[in-house]
Amino acid sequence: MATTHADSSGIPGTPGAPGTPGTPRVLRAMNDRAALDLLVAHGALTRTRISELTGLSKPTASQLLNRLTETGLVRTRNEERGKPGPNALLYEIDPAAAHVAALSADPWGISAVVSDITGTVVGRARVEADSVADHVRHRTAQLVKEAVDGALADAGPGTREPHTTVIGTPGAIDPHSGELRYAPHLPGWHSRTLRAELAEVLGAPVTIENDVNLAAMAEQHEGAAQDHDNFALVWVDNGTGAAIVVDGALLRGATGGAGEIGYMPLPGAPLARGGPGEYATARAGGGFQSLVSVSAVRELAGDGPLADALTDPSVREETARRLAAGIAAVVAVVDPELVVLSGAVPQTGGEELRALVEQELTGLALPRPLLRLSDLDGDPILTGALLSALAQAREQVFDTA
Protein backbone atom coordinates (compact mmCIF):
# COMPACT_ATOMS: atom_id res chain seq x y z
CA MET A 1 0.00 0.00 0.00
CA ALA A 2 1.18 3.54 -0.64
CA THR A 3 1.21 5.93 2.26
CA THR A 4 2.63 9.33 3.09
CA HIS A 5 5.53 8.71 5.43
CA ALA A 6 7.87 10.59 7.70
CA ASP A 7 11.35 9.22 6.97
CA SER A 8 14.46 10.01 8.94
CA SER A 9 15.96 11.55 5.79
CA GLY A 10 13.43 14.39 5.78
CA ILE A 11 9.79 15.21 6.52
CA PRO A 12 7.51 16.77 3.93
CA GLY A 13 5.40 19.73 4.97
CA THR A 14 5.91 22.93 6.87
CA PRO A 15 6.45 22.86 10.64
CA GLY A 16 3.52 24.17 12.63
CA ALA A 17 1.42 23.64 15.73
CA PRO A 18 0.75 20.06 16.94
CA GLY A 19 -2.09 18.54 14.97
CA THR A 20 -1.46 20.67 11.85
CA PRO A 21 -1.37 18.62 8.62
CA GLY A 22 2.20 18.13 7.46
CA THR A 23 3.80 18.39 10.89
CA PRO A 24 5.97 15.57 12.24
CA ARG A 25 3.35 14.65 14.82
CA VAL A 26 0.59 14.20 12.25
CA LEU A 27 2.82 12.28 9.83
CA ARG A 28 3.98 9.96 12.60
CA ALA A 29 0.35 9.30 13.53
CA MET A 30 -0.48 8.54 9.89
CA ASN A 31 2.38 6.07 9.67
CA ASP A 32 1.42 4.51 12.99
CA ARG A 33 -2.14 3.99 11.81
CA ALA A 34 -1.00 2.53 8.48
CA ALA A 35 1.20 0.01 10.30
CA LEU A 36 -1.52 -0.90 12.79
CA ASP A 37 -4.05 -1.43 9.99
CA LEU A 38 -1.58 -3.73 8.24
CA LEU A 39 -1.13 -5.77 11.40
CA VAL A 40 -4.92 -6.06 11.76
CA ALA A 41 -5.29 -7.19 8.15
CA HIS A 42 -2.28 -9.52 7.90
CA GLY A 43 -1.54 -10.61 11.44
CA ALA A 44 2.03 -10.73 12.73
CA LEU A 45 4.66 -9.22 10.41
CA THR A 46 8.41 -8.69 10.48
CA ARG A 47 9.94 -5.23 10.50
CA THR A 48 11.18 -5.84 6.96
CA ARG A 49 7.72 -6.73 5.70
CA ILE A 50 6.15 -3.70 7.38
CA SER A 51 8.81 -1.52 5.77
CA GLU A 52 7.97 -3.00 2.35
CA LEU A 53 4.22 -2.62 2.74
CA THR A 54 4.31 0.96 4.05
CA GLY A 55 7.17 2.29 1.93
CA LEU A 56 9.00 3.39 5.07
CA SER A 57 12.75 2.93 5.41
CA LYS A 58 13.85 0.20 7.78
CA PRO A 59 15.20 2.70 10.38
CA THR A 60 11.90 4.61 10.32
CA ALA A 61 9.92 1.37 10.54
CA SER A 62 12.03 0.38 13.55
CA GLN A 63 11.34 3.71 15.25
CA LEU A 64 7.63 3.34 14.55
CA LEU A 65 7.46 -0.21 15.91
CA ASN A 66 9.43 0.70 19.02
CA ARG A 67 7.03 3.57 19.63
CA LEU A 68 3.93 1.37 19.21
CA THR A 69 5.44 -1.28 21.47
CA GLU A 70 6.13 1.28 24.19
CA THR A 71 2.54 2.56 24.02
CA GLY A 72 1.16 -0.97 24.47
CA LEU A 73 -0.49 -1.21 21.05
CA VAL A 74 2.01 -3.72 19.62
CA ARG A 75 3.86 -6.66 21.11
CA THR A 76 6.67 -8.87 19.80
CA ARG A 77 7.30 -12.58 19.53
CA ASN A 78 9.85 -14.78 17.76
CA GLU A 79 8.99 -16.26 14.39
CA GLU A 80 8.82 -20.06 14.50
CA ARG A 81 10.61 -21.08 11.32
CA GLY A 82 12.23 -24.35 12.26
CA LYS A 83 15.40 -23.37 10.38
CA PRO A 84 18.99 -22.88 11.55
CA GLY A 85 20.00 -19.40 12.65
CA PRO A 86 18.23 -16.73 14.69
CA ASN A 87 14.49 -16.38 14.24
CA ALA A 88 13.10 -13.09 12.98
CA LEU A 89 11.17 -10.91 15.41
CA LEU A 90 7.45 -10.63 14.64
CA TYR A 91 5.27 -7.67 15.53
CA GLU A 92 1.54 -8.03 16.19
CA ILE A 93 -1.34 -6.05 17.70
CA ASP A 94 -1.46 -6.52 21.46
CA PRO A 95 -4.93 -8.03 22.03
CA ALA A 96 -5.10 -6.48 25.50
CA ALA A 97 -4.90 -2.93 24.11
CA ALA A 98 -8.70 -2.71 24.27
CA HIS A 99 -11.87 -4.79 24.28
CA VAL A 100 -15.26 -4.14 22.70
CA ALA A 101 -18.77 -5.49 23.22
CA ALA A 102 -21.41 -6.32 20.61
CA LEU A 103 -25.03 -7.13 21.45
CA SER A 104 -28.18 -8.19 19.65
CA ALA A 105 -31.58 -7.50 21.23
CA ASP A 106 -34.79 -9.31 20.36
CA PRO A 107 -38.21 -9.70 22.03
CA TRP A 108 -36.95 -12.69 24.05
CA GLY A 109 -33.62 -11.44 25.36
CA ILE A 110 -30.15 -10.09 24.63
CA SER A 111 -27.10 -11.87 23.21
CA ALA A 112 -23.64 -10.44 23.85
CA VAL A 113 -20.07 -11.07 22.78
CA VAL A 114 -16.83 -9.45 23.92
CA SER A 115 -13.74 -9.38 21.72
CA ASP A 116 -10.24 -8.02 21.97
CA ILE A 117 -9.08 -5.25 19.64
CA THR A 118 -7.92 -7.80 17.04
CA GLY A 119 -11.49 -9.07 16.66
CA THR A 120 -11.00 -12.37 18.47
CA VAL A 121 -14.15 -13.20 20.47
CA VAL A 122 -13.18 -14.06 24.04
CA GLY A 123 -16.57 -14.22 25.81
CA ARG A 124 -20.26 -14.83 25.11
CA ALA A 125 -23.49 -14.56 27.11
CA ARG A 126 -27.25 -14.68 26.63
CA VAL A 127 -29.80 -13.07 28.93
CA GLU A 128 -33.30 -14.44 28.46
CA ALA A 129 -35.96 -11.84 29.23
CA ASP A 130 -39.27 -10.84 27.69
CA SER A 131 -39.63 -7.34 26.28
CA VAL A 132 -39.61 -4.81 29.08
CA ALA A 133 -42.67 -2.67 29.77
CA ASP A 134 -42.33 1.09 29.36
CA HIS A 135 -43.06 1.78 33.03
CA VAL A 136 -40.11 -0.32 34.32
CA ARG A 137 -37.48 2.40 34.46
CA HIS A 138 -33.87 1.48 33.72
CA ARG A 139 -34.73 -2.22 33.37
CA THR A 140 -33.48 -2.36 29.77
CA ALA A 141 -30.15 -0.82 30.75
CA GLN A 142 -29.86 -3.35 33.59
CA LEU A 143 -30.43 -6.26 31.18
CA VAL A 144 -27.77 -4.92 28.81
CA LYS A 145 -25.36 -4.58 31.71
CA GLU A 146 -26.14 -8.15 32.78
CA ALA A 147 -25.43 -9.45 29.27
CA VAL A 148 -22.12 -7.57 29.00
CA ASP A 149 -21.05 -8.67 32.48
CA GLY A 150 -21.88 -12.27 31.56
CA ALA A 151 -19.70 -12.09 28.44
CA LEU A 152 -16.86 -10.52 30.45
CA ALA A 153 -17.13 -13.29 33.05
CA ASP A 154 -17.01 -15.88 30.28
CA ALA A 155 -13.89 -14.22 28.89
CA GLY A 156 -12.11 -14.63 32.21
CA PRO A 157 -9.59 -12.56 34.20
CA GLY A 158 -7.61 -9.89 32.40
CA THR A 159 -10.42 -8.85 30.08
CA ARG A 160 -10.83 -5.08 30.16
CA GLU A 161 -14.15 -3.26 30.36
CA PRO A 162 -15.39 -2.61 26.83
CA HIS A 163 -13.99 0.51 25.24
CA THR A 164 -16.92 0.58 22.79
CA THR A 165 -20.33 -1.10 22.75
CA VAL A 166 -22.67 -1.51 19.77
CA ILE A 167 -26.20 -2.89 20.15
CA GLY A 168 -28.33 -4.15 17.28
CA THR A 169 -32.10 -3.84 17.65
CA PRO A 170 -35.12 -4.08 15.37
CA GLY A 171 -36.29 -0.63 14.33
CA ALA A 172 -34.13 2.46 14.09
CA ILE A 173 -33.07 5.31 16.34
CA ASP A 174 -34.49 8.56 14.99
CA PRO A 175 -31.50 10.93 14.70
CA HIS A 176 -33.68 13.93 15.64
CA SER A 177 -35.75 12.62 18.56
CA GLY A 178 -33.43 9.87 19.82
CA GLU A 179 -36.39 7.49 19.99
CA LEU A 180 -36.54 3.94 18.68
CA ARG A 181 -39.04 3.76 15.83
CA TYR A 182 -40.62 0.85 13.93
CA ALA A 183 -40.19 -1.58 16.84
CA PRO A 184 -43.35 -1.54 18.98
CA HIS A 185 -42.58 -5.07 20.18
CA LEU A 186 -39.57 -3.73 22.15
CA PRO A 187 -41.31 -1.29 24.52
CA GLY A 188 -38.43 -1.00 26.97
CA TRP A 189 -36.17 0.41 24.26
CA HIS A 190 -38.26 3.51 23.51
CA SER A 191 -36.95 5.83 26.24
CA ARG A 192 -35.35 9.03 24.93
CA THR A 193 -32.75 8.75 27.68
CA LEU A 194 -31.88 5.11 26.96
CA ARG A 195 -28.50 5.83 25.42
CA ALA A 196 -27.51 7.95 28.43
CA GLU A 197 -28.72 5.19 30.78
CA LEU A 198 -26.71 2.59 28.88
CA ALA A 199 -23.59 4.77 28.88
CA GLU A 200 -23.96 5.24 32.64
CA VAL A 201 -24.23 1.54 33.51
CA LEU A 202 -21.49 0.49 31.07
CA GLY A 203 -19.16 3.40 31.74
CA ALA A 204 -18.67 4.24 28.05
CA PRO A 205 -20.70 5.57 25.09
CA VAL A 206 -23.08 3.12 23.40
CA THR A 207 -24.21 2.98 19.78
CA ILE A 208 -27.68 1.57 19.01
CA GLU A 209 -28.00 0.44 15.40
CA ASN A 210 -30.70 -1.20 13.29
CA ASP A 211 -30.16 -4.96 13.30
CA VAL A 212 -30.63 -5.44 9.54
CA ASN A 213 -28.16 -2.63 8.82
CA LEU A 214 -25.63 -4.49 10.96
CA ALA A 215 -26.34 -7.74 9.10
CA ALA A 216 -25.67 -5.88 5.84
CA MET A 217 -22.37 -4.61 7.25
CA ALA A 218 -21.41 -8.20 8.01
CA GLU A 219 -22.30 -9.29 4.45
CA GLN A 220 -20.35 -6.35 3.03
CA HIS A 221 -17.16 -7.20 4.95
CA GLU A 222 -17.27 -10.97 5.35
CA GLY A 223 -20.21 -12.41 3.43
CA ALA A 224 -22.01 -12.62 0.11
CA ALA A 225 -21.69 -8.89 -0.74
CA GLN A 226 -17.92 -8.49 -0.35
CA ASP A 227 -17.45 -7.68 -4.04
CA HIS A 228 -20.39 -5.25 -4.34
CA ASP A 229 -20.84 -1.58 -3.41
CA ASN A 230 -24.53 -1.44 -4.38
CA PHE A 231 -26.71 -4.12 -2.87
CA ALA A 232 -29.81 -4.77 -0.81
CA LEU A 233 -30.05 -7.19 2.08
CA VAL A 234 -33.57 -8.57 2.52
CA TRP A 235 -34.07 -10.00 6.02
CA VAL A 236 -37.02 -12.36 6.46
CA ASP A 237 -37.41 -13.78 9.95
CA ASN A 238 -39.93 -13.16 12.74
CA GLY A 239 -39.72 -9.61 11.42
CA THR A 240 -38.97 -8.43 7.90
CA GLY A 241 -36.74 -5.58 6.78
CA ALA A 242 -34.06 -4.50 4.36
CA ALA A 243 -30.78 -2.65 4.33
CA ILE A 244 -29.80 -0.65 1.26
CA VAL A 245 -26.12 -0.01 0.49
CA VAL A 246 -25.38 2.61 -2.19
CA ASP A 247 -21.80 3.27 -3.30
CA GLY A 248 -20.57 1.35 -0.27
CA ALA A 249 -22.56 3.36 2.29
CA LEU A 250 -25.79 2.54 4.11
CA LEU A 251 -28.86 4.47 3.03
CA ARG A 252 -30.54 5.53 6.28
CA GLY A 253 -33.27 7.98 5.34
CA ALA A 254 -34.44 11.14 7.11
CA THR A 255 -35.58 9.33 10.29
CA GLY A 256 -33.32 6.27 10.11
CA GLY A 257 -36.14 4.17 8.70
CA ALA A 258 -34.89 3.43 5.18
CA GLY A 259 -35.44 -0.25 4.43
CA GLU A 260 -38.43 -0.84 6.72
CA ILE A 261 -40.06 -2.92 3.98
CA GLY A 262 -42.01 -5.01 6.49
CA TYR A 263 -44.59 -2.20 6.40
CA MET A 264 -44.64 -1.99 2.58
CA PRO A 265 -48.15 -2.43 1.16
CA LEU A 266 -48.46 -5.27 -1.33
CA PRO A 267 -51.37 -6.96 -3.13
CA GLY A 268 -52.82 -9.64 -0.88
CA ALA A 269 -51.50 -8.08 2.32
CA PRO A 270 -53.88 -6.37 4.76
CA LEU A 271 -53.28 -2.68 5.30
CA ALA A 272 -52.67 -1.41 8.81
CA ARG A 273 -53.49 2.23 9.41
CA GLY A 274 -52.47 4.36 12.35
CA GLY A 275 -48.69 4.09 12.44
CA PRO A 276 -46.04 1.52 13.35
CA GLY A 277 -47.94 0.44 16.46
CA GLU A 278 -50.37 -1.35 14.20
CA TYR A 279 -47.56 -3.57 12.95
CA ALA A 280 -46.65 -5.18 16.26
CA THR A 281 -47.04 -8.67 14.85
CA ALA A 282 -47.38 -10.11 11.39
CA ARG A 283 -50.89 -11.35 12.16
CA ALA A 284 -52.13 -8.09 13.71
CA GLY A 285 -50.52 -5.87 11.11
CA GLY A 286 -50.21 -5.67 7.38
CA GLY A 287 -47.76 -5.14 4.59
CA PHE A 288 -44.99 -7.36 3.24
CA GLN A 289 -44.17 -8.79 6.67
CA SER A 290 -47.65 -10.27 7.06
CA LEU A 291 -47.01 -12.34 3.90
CA VAL A 292 -43.48 -13.68 4.38
CA SER A 293 -42.48 -13.68 8.08
CA VAL A 294 -41.86 -16.94 9.92
CA SER A 295 -45.40 -16.97 11.31
CA ALA A 296 -46.89 -16.23 7.87
CA VAL A 297 -45.03 -19.12 6.25
CA ARG A 298 -45.97 -21.46 9.07
CA GLU A 299 -49.63 -20.48 8.64
CA LEU A 300 -49.46 -21.65 5.03
CA ALA A 301 -48.74 -25.15 6.33
CA GLY A 302 -51.11 -25.09 9.31
CA ASP A 303 -48.74 -23.63 11.92
CA GLY A 304 -46.21 -26.49 11.91
CA PRO A 305 -42.45 -25.96 12.28
CA LEU A 306 -40.88 -23.67 9.69
CA ALA A 307 -38.58 -26.41 8.38
CA ASP A 308 -41.52 -28.74 7.82
CA ALA A 309 -43.54 -25.98 6.14
CA LEU A 310 -40.83 -25.23 3.59
CA THR A 311 -40.46 -28.89 2.61
CA ASP A 312 -43.99 -28.69 1.18
CA PRO A 313 -43.60 -27.74 -2.52
CA SER A 314 -46.82 -25.70 -2.56
CA VAL A 315 -45.76 -23.69 0.53
CA ARG A 316 -42.30 -23.15 -0.90
CA GLU A 317 -43.71 -21.94 -4.22
CA GLU A 318 -46.19 -19.57 -2.59
CA THR A 319 -43.49 -18.19 -0.30
CA ALA A 320 -41.26 -17.61 -3.33
CA ARG A 321 -44.04 -15.72 -5.12
CA ARG A 322 -44.61 -13.49 -2.12
CA LEU A 323 -40.91 -12.84 -1.60
CA ALA A 324 -40.43 -12.02 -5.26
CA ALA A 325 -43.25 -9.45 -5.20
CA GLY A 326 -41.63 -7.56 -2.31
CA ILE A 327 -38.11 -7.82 -3.67
CA ALA A 328 -39.30 -6.56 -7.07
CA ALA A 329 -40.57 -3.38 -5.41
CA VAL A 330 -37.17 -2.81 -3.78
CA VAL A 331 -35.35 -3.51 -7.05
CA ALA A 332 -37.58 -1.13 -8.99
CA VAL A 333 -36.74 1.74 -6.62
CA VAL A 334 -33.03 1.32 -5.82
CA ASP A 335 -31.75 -0.90 -8.70
CA PRO A 336 -29.15 -2.86 -6.69
CA GLU A 337 -26.62 -5.04 -8.46
CA LEU A 338 -27.13 -7.74 -5.82
CA VAL A 339 -29.87 -8.83 -3.42
CA VAL A 340 -28.78 -10.94 -0.44
CA LEU A 341 -31.43 -13.06 1.29
CA SER A 342 -30.96 -13.59 5.01
CA GLY A 343 -32.97 -14.56 8.08
CA ALA A 344 -34.75 -17.74 9.12
CA VAL A 345 -37.06 -18.09 6.10
CA PRO A 346 -34.43 -17.88 3.32
CA GLN A 347 -31.88 -19.86 5.31
CA THR A 348 -34.38 -22.63 6.03
CA GLY A 349 -35.67 -22.67 2.45
CA GLY A 350 -32.11 -22.78 1.15
CA GLU A 351 -31.08 -22.96 -2.49
CA GLU A 352 -34.42 -24.42 -3.59
CA LEU A 353 -36.29 -21.38 -2.29
CA ARG A 354 -33.69 -18.96 -3.65
CA ALA A 355 -33.96 -20.48 -7.14
CA LEU A 356 -37.75 -20.21 -7.03
CA VAL A 357 -37.58 -16.56 -5.97
CA GLU A 358 -35.15 -15.84 -8.80
CA GLN A 359 -37.52 -17.51 -11.24
CA GLU A 360 -40.52 -15.56 -9.93
CA LEU A 361 -38.61 -12.26 -10.20
CA THR A 362 -38.36 -12.64 -13.97
CA GLY A 363 -40.52 -9.96 -15.54
CA LEU A 364 -41.57 -8.33 -12.24
CA ALA A 365 -38.88 -5.65 -12.46
CA LEU A 366 -36.74 -4.53 -15.38
CA PRO A 367 -33.39 -4.69 -13.52
CA ARG A 368 -32.08 -8.21 -12.99
CA PRO A 369 -29.84 -8.17 -9.92
CA LEU A 370 -27.89 -11.15 -8.70
CA LEU A 371 -29.72 -13.06 -5.97
CA ARG A 372 -27.66 -14.78 -3.29
CA LEU A 373 -28.23 -16.46 0.05
CA SER A 374 -26.26 -15.21 3.02
CA ASP A 375 -23.23 -17.44 3.57
CA LEU A 376 -22.21 -16.10 6.96
CA ASP A 377 -21.67 -18.45 9.88
CA GLY A 378 -23.30 -17.57 13.17
CA ASP A 379 -25.47 -14.55 13.92
CA PRO A 380 -24.97 -11.86 11.22
CA ILE A 381 -26.39 -9.16 13.50
CA LEU A 382 -23.80 -9.86 16.18
CA THR A 383 -21.10 -10.08 13.51
CA GLY A 384 -22.08 -6.66 12.16
CA ALA A 385 -22.29 -5.16 15.65
CA LEU A 386 -18.81 -6.48 16.40
CA LEU A 387 -17.40 -5.06 13.15
CA SER A 388 -18.95 -1.69 13.96
CA ALA A 389 -17.62 -1.70 17.53
CA LEU A 390 -14.13 -2.64 16.36
CA ALA A 391 -14.10 0.11 13.73
CA GLN A 392 -15.12 2.72 16.30
CA ALA A 393 -12.66 1.51 18.92
CA ARG A 394 -9.73 1.33 16.52
CA GLU A 395 -10.43 4.86 15.31
CA GLN A 396 -9.71 6.08 18.84
CA VAL A 397 -7.30 3.50 20.27
CA PHE A 398 -5.06 3.53 17.18
CA ASP A 399 -4.90 7.33 17.07
CA THR A 400 -1.43 8.15 18.39
CA ALA A 401 -1.53 11.84 17.51
**Confidence (pLDDT) at 13:** 34
**Confidence (pLDDT) at 277:** 42
pLDDT below 50 — which residues of the chain?
1-18, 276-284
**Confidence (pLDDT) at 61:** 95
The burial of 347, by beta-carbon neighbours within 10 Å (0-12 exposed, 13-18 middle, 19 or more buried), is given as: middle
Q: DSSP letter for 117, please.
A: T
Question: Could you tell me the sign of the dihedral formed by the alpha carbons of 195, 400, 119, 96, in that order?
Answer: negative
**Confidence (pLDDT) at 201:** 92
Q: Which amino acid is at 181?
A: R
Domains and CATH numbers, the chain: 24-79+86-93 (1.10.10.10), 99-212+381-398 (3.30.420.40), 224-375 (3.30.420.40)
**Confidence (pLDDT) at 374:** 97
**Confidence (pLDDT) at 2:** 37
DSSP, collapsed to helix, strand or coil, labels residue 305 as: coil
**Confidence (pLDDT) at 351:** 97
pTM of the model: 0.87
Neighbouring residues of 254: CB distance < 8 A, sequence distance ≥ 6: none
